[in-house]
Structure 1
Amino acid sequence: MSTDIHGQVVNIVFGVIDFRVDCFGVASLPVLDTMFALFIHYLYKSALGTNHVQISWLQGFFTTIVMASGGGCTVALLRGQPLGILSSNEFWIIHGLTYFLIFSNDYFYLLMQTLFSLPLVEHAFTVSDGFLRTMAMVQFGVDGVTGVLGHKKWMAQLICGMLAGCGGGLWMDAFRLSEPHWTFGTPQLLKSISTDMKITFATVVFYMCLVDDDGLLYQTFGITTHLDRIEAQAWSAIILTLGLIINTKITFWQSSFYRAQIEDTKKTN
């Protein structure tokens, strides 16, 4: 591995992704996957609010599985491949345990609320989302097209990369899975493109340009250094994660501003 900036980024990104902790000598759990599962289940219960008492355990667990793996599963179905989650016992163990902890124990949910209120903690969970989502987008979504459909299928790469990054949200939106009673409707994501989708699109295009075999990016801009796929994947993970963190901060500032305006209006009246 090179010692330049690209090699350092690769070491950091894949070192974090591959980091595991030993659990009482019984098993080792991937830290990032566990954080991502906690993040998904916490967001789902927060979205339900008091309505969480109206859903069954099976309904709730199915929804969180769609949130966590809907993008990759959609791509697999489109390309006629087995669903990746069916080959991973670890996936079901991690998500089953985290779902049980958050939905069976209000104290654990309150602990998660407290953690998310601490500075930088929410960003740590966003990193887990960003890194893992990027790997699904570029390794399975974009690079996976070549093995199934052949080389230079750039539209298929773009579609599969986008679906791998946003497919879960699309299913959630289309069937209103975050509500107690599911109904089918036109996904809001198709009416107005969210910032999350824009960040995903930019990251997919960024990666496709970096690994373009024809070198159009390098010829156009006169870039002499060519990145291999591992380096491109690491930089894509950095780009997507930074975009998600910045979007989170902007959303928080906007919410704070609107709340302040409402409070001022109440005081004036």
Structure 2
Amino acid sequence: MSASVMSEYLARAEQNYPVYLAAEWSPSFPVAIAMTLHALRVSYEVRKMLNCSGRLPTAQEIFALLTLSFGGGILSALMLGKPQPWLVNNGMIPTYTLVYLAVGFCPQDWVFRILRMLSPASDVFLAAVDGAIRGYGVTATGVEMVRDMEGPISESLTAMIIIGTVLGCGGGIIEDVIQFSKRSWNFRTPTLLQRPNFDIGITFSSVLFYIFSTRTWSFAAQHPGLIGAEWIDGLIELLVPHLTPETARGVCGLFCAGSLAYKAVGDHVRYNRLMSPAMPNTQKTEVVEETKKDQ
């Protein structure tokens, strides 16, 4: 494939990336396909988690599903004083609830069984879609949402990094602290403060790459009197390619999609081991807790 053909293909992909994410099933069923697949991904993962740790009352399982799905939007909107996305979008709660009811409570359990029969292909596909959505969301929605704010916060590197990262994995952070996937909730020290976290790592890396590859923020422009500001900007210029926002979002989407797809393979093996009759329940509980720390 020639360089010109490859460049043309990449240009079309960059242009169509947000179009694909916003595409709906049909005018008579105006629900985004990407949102439906994300609901299926989270529902599938919640169901697997509960299969290992124990099922909960239906309302509690749905609450856990919704919090994991919307947690990033909830926290970022609270920090910026914005309306909650799940309140603005009339279709979010019904879509995620119905998808989870299909995965968790379908007669004969056929939806979950089909996903398991197709595993690990189903795990990898849904994880890749989740990654593509996350890569676009933390950049176009997270970082750019901060830049669109009025006042000094629009130029805050701290706000861009925190909002972008939290938007991508806030649900897991809430679960890590409150443990709402258990029958009785308990506050605990966040494990992200105790050990590296895979999801936070890839999200944080994507946000940083987007900010500096698009030259959204520079030390010399924001803090001209800072010692070494120009040297730091020069180092960024040397190490990080200068990309358009559209290209940078595509790169972040590919990175998140590939990373989560790779992780899904390991999660598939771990789940099969957890569901093995040979594993004692006490050991199964310990492995589940360790697995949740990496979410």
Cα distance in 1 between the residues matched to 2:171 and 2:63:
12
Cα distance in 2 between the residues matched to 1:12 and 1:139:
14
Aligned partners of 1:211 and 1:229 also within 8 Å = yes
Provide the residue aligned with 1:4 in structure 2: 8
Provide the residue aligned with 2:80 in structure 1: 79
Report matched runs for 1:63-74 at 5 Å: 63-74=64-75
From the superposition, tell whether residues 182 and 257 of structure 1 become closer, same or farther in structure 2 (CA, over 3 Å): closer
What's the CA shift string for 1:85-141, capped at 9, x where partnerless? 11101112211211222333253x443233244252222211221122223311222
From the superposition, tell whether residues 182 and 255 of structure 1 become closer, same or farther in structure 2 (CA, over 3 Å): closer
Report matched runs for 1:184-263 at 5 Å: 184-213=187-216, 216=233, 219-221=237-239, 223=241, 226-252=242-268
Report matched runs for 1:8-47 at 5 Å: 8-11=12-15, 13-22=17-26, 26-47=28-49
Provide the residue aligned with 1:147 in structure 2: 148
**Aligned partner letter, 2:166:** L
Cα distance in 1 between the residues matched to 2:248 and 2:240:
18
Cα distance in 2 between the residues matched to 1:65 and 1:175:
14
Cα distance in 1 between the residues matched to 2:89 and 2:136:
16
Q: State the Cα distance separating 1:14 from its structure 2 match.
A: 2.8
Aligned partners of 1:137 and 1:161 also within 8 Å = yes
What SS does structure 1 have at the residue aligned with 2:25? strand
From the superposition, tell whether residues 244 and 222 of structure 1 become closer, same or farther in structure 2 (CA, over 3 Å): closer
Aligned partners of 2:177 and 2:190 also within 8 Å = yes
From the superposition, tell whether residues 218 and 20 of structure 1 become closer, same or farther in structure 2 (CA, over 3 Å): same
From the superposition, tell whether residues 195 and 221 of structure 1 become closer, same or farther in structure 2 (CA, over 3 Å): closer
Cα distance in 2 between the residues matched to 1:113 and 1:258:
17
| Long gaps (5+) in structure 1 | 264-269
Aligned partners of 1:33 and 1:128 also within 8 Å = no
From the superposition, tell whether residues 96 and 259 of structure 1 become closer, same or farther in structure 2 (CA, over 3 Å): closer
CA-based RMSD of the aligned residues comes to: 3.0
Aligned partners of 1:165 and 1:200 also within 8 Å = yes
Does 1:177 find its partner at 2:180?
yes
Cα distance in 2 between the residues matched to 1:214 and 1:87:
30
| Long gaps (5+) in structure 2 | 1-5, 219-232, 280-295
Q: State the Cα distance separating 1:36 from its structure 2 match.
A: 0.9
**Aligned partner letter, 1:59:** Q
What SS does structure 2 have at the residue aligned with 1:29? strand
What's the CA shift string for 1:223-255, capped at 9, x where partnerless? 5xx422222112211111111112223455677
Aligned partners of 2:128 and 2:256 also within 8 Å = no
What's the CA shift string for 1:10-41, capped at 9, x where partnerless? 1453343133323xx73233221111111212
Cα distance in 1 between the residues matched to 2:160 and 2:72:
14
Aligned residues between the structures: 254
Aligned partners of 2:66 and 2:97 also within 8 Å = no
Aligned partners of 1:63 and 1:178 also within 8 Å = yes
Aligned partners of 1:13 and 1:131 also within 8 Å = no
Moved more, 125-134 or 235-244: 125-134
Cα distance in 2 between the residues matched to 1:137 and 1:106:
37
Aligned partners of 1:173 and 1:188 also within 8 Å = yes
From the superposition, tell whether residues 19 and 26 of structure 1 become closer, same or farther in structure 2 (CA, over 3 Å): closer
From the superposition, tell whether residues 257 and 233 of structure 1 become closer, same or farther in structure 2 (CA, over 3 Å): same
Cα distance in 2 between the residues matched to 1:3 and 1:138:
22
Moved more, 249-258 or 144-153: 249-258
Identical-pair percentage: 22
Aligned partners of 1:63 and 1:177 also within 8 Å = yes
